[in-house]
Structure 1
């Protein structure tokens, strides 16, 4: 493996560490006082810093070092993780991510912003608020004893017997100048080695020149260590993993001893009889912590040891491998073709007159089952939680809140809800637009919230859940809600509707999705250019989804996006409508039934209801909604599909006949043709024909004249 591949692995690990950092800081901000949460945050920054030092990413190392120092103050109890402190750390996590991505992809980072955060972090580490005011130290937990530092000497343990299972190792360590040039420190390596057990450390000064010949950037000292430990040789070598290119070291094992060995001793190489000198590790810690950031040691080996230990734990729990996404995409495409060919083969067998069809049918059933298992397994590979996308939104909220001088708290739910990777990749842009819109337009300023009797801090909720074979994402705020009077007036001013148009609340709300529509009074970096919600709707429609609004004046708004779980395959019911073949997603169908004339009831002008178990359900003629026919079909001669809509209600879709249940491969209609109201996508049937996949919720909405045909709705009211 060459250095570029190792570096790429490092950046992949950085993404994981950044995600863990964000998660931990948000948990602390929400009141999580578990010390392990703080430790996890510290380890994330520590690991990034260690790897960056190995690749000489100086800007990243310098920022991470100061960040790590402040986190260590929190970890040791010297700094209370208050809301203001965590706010600085969240911003620092954003800059750390920017530095990481800049190191990976090139480009630059806002130096003014990063320098300002460095000053704030250093102030916090000194016990001051950003700006110089003193900050309260963390209070000890109730019932916790008072703590005072006490000098500690390892020589007190000369008579302590080691564990019987301990083994003796001899380690020879000789750094080269390159080790110090990269920010590593021999003292840290020795300290970490001493943590593995009981160590005797002797400093070898044989190569130390006279003072006049001394090179300040040279490396002249070496160390001989005798280590008595229960750890393995691999654990010892792991400490030097990041430094192995810049030093020479040897590890040899010997028989375990029962005599105690002093932990650390140091003497010149050519001295007379050795006189043990206590080797106080705390002194090294004090020297290292007092060093300025530019000259700070980079304990890359610490980070690697931690990652190696984490990797071992992960390997014991659930082994994983990294696979190039293009390979998975090719595999999914092949599985899709396999599904189509299996359907074609089944169609050919059913149409044949072979005398041995029973054996062929048995083989086809086994092939179908195998194909389904392969398809399920492949789709599971691409299924990923929405957590990474949700975490990115936290940063958007912080930035927009600062720009608008608002106090906003983001609450996320259902972060582990899984969806196809393709859907996740295309979610970021519409979610970003909606989050920016919710903070800028939805939430009031702190003064207005207090005047309205609300908390000064606004709440934004981002939730994901599975419903009827789809993923539903909600963005809810507790702001002022949509000002429908203002939206209507803007629409009139822009010529979107006539002044005397009669619109329902729902139709007024949906005006914000019209291209070029904006209620902002002035253009800013956040809004006012008329680009946003129409982009959101178009992006969602391209994914085969839809978006709805529910707003209550004074209480807030809820934007709901409904998207398919996957863009590859689905189980569907193949039906016939006015001579056309359609596919209805099976997840939307509750039951099928043959309507009886006595159960059909007329309602209003041309509307019909069907009585199902003492309940009346609207009966929708799919052929008429999709303009396949002008006249309504006879319900008694049709088949009704009872479906559950996105809003939770039920409707009965009337079709001419059911051909059967089938698994179909989804083909994008918009990519090959154009958006068709009421149609989600297309597929290829076993006989080679193209069939349209029905968008159930859009067809239901089409009976109310809204989402299925937005252009007709606007024209009608104009």
Structure 2
């Protein structure tokens, strides 16, 4: 594994840490937290700081250090977590996210001078404001000077000056200061490791490097360029916490580390909080080293240092409660996972073809074929579960968006999240972020009123935006709701006429009027702002949702608020479907939409006009949709009493699809029409059946919505149902 791959893992862990922090902030803001919640936030920042130092992201490291200092004061009880302090910590989190993004993308770090001053002021209320953002990395000479070394010019192969410099005694620290002895492992330089970065972190704690240990350095002819042979001794001021010193070496791996008070005893060499779990080996002997050189002169006023020993795990003082081991994970390249999903899809098709062939030879009932069917389904479900991710990964970004909108609009907003652990396919998680962002921004900017308007309307000053996710009939439904002013349909219609989107005399239902907000170029904003007003956004929402095979529905009540429901398929590769025939064509109806199938009596269907019919289903009249008529298929059954009626559930309620026959129910692999042919209204995709034929998958929601539009358009002619 090369350095780039390790750094990618670091950034993935940063994202996980930031998501954990965001979730913890939600608990803190609601008052539902304990000291462990603050510790969780602290540990996430601490890990980001350590990794940033290891990979040389100095600006990120410096910012995380100040952030960590403030959090440490909160977790140890030095500072009380007031609402103002919580606001500072949350805003600092946003800046930390920007720093991580800049480090990952190679961009310019954000201007954090004001935020650093705010962190320092919060940590020390009586202290002077902090200086501006850290300057760019210092020149090599300046860095060397900070570490206690002066720049030395060398000529040829003469290293005597360097050795003399390293072995010269340095001024001793005061009594009570920390003396740190650090000897990296022989493999410390592998994978891009750099012990000098750790020494630089010590200098950021006002530490000074006293001397370098050259005792293990071999002759030049025996020197291996990828081995580390040096060690260092440094002095750190007594005011620095020991945990802060140990944190610097947390990601070092194999090393020997000794921390002791000058004039005191070694402290916490076997402390439970040490980041090392195993005995740490000394330098190996792959190369013959010369006899050890004389030890450096002892530090003045310092005790005789004890031999450096590897850190060992602590001896448990008493039996401890058994703790369940953490779940084991493995990171897999997404391309490999996609290939696995595609292969499982092809396996499902092949299994269906095999079942078809065997059924033709009267061998459909053999037990081995049943076992193969069960195993194939279990394999498919397990593969889909690997790709499944909780919606929490998307929902965790929303609180920051809300905070920014509160600042820009002056509104007070409370975010309620429901069902964040609902799992969906990774493709949905990756592509639903942008539509959700648009919906959230519109809910705050257009939906919610200002505090003064809410008070005048008898509402609390704080508006509520609810973000929820749930499984429903084989689909995932993501809802963005607000308790604001709702959609003013008269105003929407007037704007649509003004912009030429509809004719002035157009007859529209409430649903169709609401859907006008998805038209390109439509906006009811009086002025153009950074949030809205240009007529872009909602049309993008609908296009992105449709590209995922989903639909978006609106429910709104004037003065009470609006709700936008995004209905998306749980997986984009395999679904359970019912195989039906219409005329000479074969179609698949997704099983998640189907409620039941009926073959009605002659008197059960009520005919309204030449093409409209209703069926009495347990006391409720449900409209009958002729699939053949909508898709232009000849030779299909026209008498409902001789056809099969399938009751389906759609975004707009129940409806009935009229087909000729039902062939089978099976699992099918979805193939995209857009990628292989072109998008066709009313069709969600295609699949390959067991006999090799291609069957089209019906888009139930689109078919019923299209039928309703046709009925409204035909209403003036007296043809509406």
Check conservation: 2:181, 2:234, Cα contact below 8 A: no
CA deviation map 1:416-475 (0-9, x unaligned): 000111111110111111111111211122222222222222211110000000000000
Which of 342, 355, 358 aligns to 1:346? It is 355
Indicate yes or no: 2:489 matched with 1:484: yes
Instruction: Output the CA distance in 2 between the equivalents of 1:314 and 1:334.
Output: 39
TM-score, structure 2 length as denominator? 0.74
Greater CA deviation, 46-55 or 560-569? 46-55
CA distance in 1, matches of 2:628, 2:39: 62
- Given that 2:54 and 2:198 are in contact with CA atoms closer than 8 Å, whether structure 1 keeps it comes out as no
CA contact (8 A) 1:206 1:269 kept: no
Are 1:544 and 2:549 matched, yes or no? yes
Cα deviation, residue 64, structure 1:
0.9
- Is 2:444 the partner of 1:439? yes
1:181 has 2:199 as partner: yes
Deviation of 1:407 after TM superposition, in Å, equals: 1.8
Q: 1:701 aligns with which of 673, 692, 705?
A: 705
**In structure 2, how many angstroms separate the alpha carbons of the residues matched to 1:129 and 1:517?**
52
Larger fraction in helix: 1
- For residues 71 and 380 of structure 1, do their structure 2 counterparts lie closer, same or farther at Cα, with a shift above 3 Å needed? same
Task: Tell me whether 1:569 sits opposite 2:568 in the alignment.
Answer: no
Q: State whether structure 2 residue 530 is matched by structure 1 residue 530.
A: no
Alignment of 1:251-262 (within 5 A): none
Match of 2:517 in 1: 512
Distance 2:267 2:641 in 1: 94
Query: What are the ranges of 5 or more consecutive residues in structure 1 without an aligned counterpart?
Result: 133-170, 190-202, 209-217, 224-236, 252-260, 278-300, 306-312
The count of residues paired between Structure 1 and Structure 2 equals 590
2:687 is equivalent to residue 683 of structure 1: yes
Matches within 5 A, 1:120-269: 120-127=118-125, 173-174=181-182, 178=196, 181-184=199-202, 219-220=232-233, 240=249, 242-243=251-252, 248=256
Q: Does the C-alpha gap of structure 1 residues 314 and 460 become closer, same or farther in structure 2, counting only changes over 3 Å?
A: farther
Q: How does 1:600-679 map to 2 (within 5 A)?
A: 600-602=605-607, 607-628=612-633, 633-646=638-651, 649-679=653-683
- After TM superposition, the structure 1 stretch with the greater mean CA deviation from structure 2, 573-582 or 558-567, is 573-582
Question: Which residue, out of 328, 343, 359, partners 1:319?
Answer: 328
Q: CA shift at 1:484, angstroms?
A: 1.7
Deviations 1:644-701 (A, max 9, x none): 3335x43332211001112111111222333322222221222322211112222233
SS in 2 for 1:517: coil
Q: Distance in 2 between matches of 1:711 and 1:46?
A: 66
* Structure 2 equivalent of residue 595 of structure 1: 600
Give, in angstroms, the shift of residue 500 of structure 1. Answer: 2.4
1:521 aligns with 2:526: yes
For the structure 1 residues 622 and 317, does the alpha-carbon distance in structure 2 shift closer, same or farther, using more than 3 Å as the test? same
After TM superposition, the structure 1 stretch with the greater mean CA deviation from structure 2, 616-625 or 65-74, is 616-625
1:294 maps to none
Q: Which residue of 2 aligns with 1:27?
A: 27
C-alpha distance in structure 2 between counterparts of 1:524 and 1:711, whole Å? 41
Aligned partners of 2:74 and 2:81 also within 8 Å: yes
Measured against aligned partners, the alpha-carbon deviations of 1:523-569 in whole angstroms (never above 9, x if no partner) come to 33222222111111111111110001111111111001000001000
CA distance in 2, matches of 1:377, 1:567: 15
CA gap 1:239/1:118 in 2 versus in 1, 3 angstroms: closer
Q: Distance in 1 between matches of 2:7 and 2:529?
A: 39
RMSD, matched Cα: 4.1
Pick from 464, 467, 470 the counterpart of residue 469 of structure 2.
464
Task: Label 1:222 to 1:443 Cα distance change in 2 as closer, same or farther (>3 A).
Answer: closer
- Give the deviation of 1:62 after TM superposition: 1.3
Match of 1:580 in 2: 585
- Give the whole-Å Cα distance in 1 for the aligned partners of 2:526 and 2:126: 41
Deviations 1:327-357 (A, max 9, x none): 01001111111112222233333345xxxx5
Partner of 2:63: 63
CA distance in 2, matches of 1:45, 1:127: 22
Q: Distance in 1 between matches of 2:541 and 2:691?
A: 37
Deviations 1:601-650 (A, max 9, x none): 34578543323344443333222233436998211101121223335x43
Partner of 1:288: none
Q: Secondary structure at the match of 2:396?
A: helix
Contact 1:175–1:221, Cα closer than 8 Å, also in 2: no
Structure 2 residue runs without a partner (length 5+): 131-178, 185-194, 215-230, 237-245, 269-295, 306-310, 315-321
Is residue 380 from structure 1 mapped to residue 385 from structure 2 by the alignment? yes
Mapped to 1, the partners of 2:636 and 2:298 lie a distance apart of 108
3-state secondary structure, aligned to 2:606 = strand
Structure 1: how far apart are the matches of 2:249 and 2:83?
A: 39
Distance 1:130 1:22 in 2: 30
Kept in 1: contact 2:358–2:364 (CA 8 A): no
Change (3 A) 1:55 1:603: same
TM score, norm. by length of structure 1: 0.74
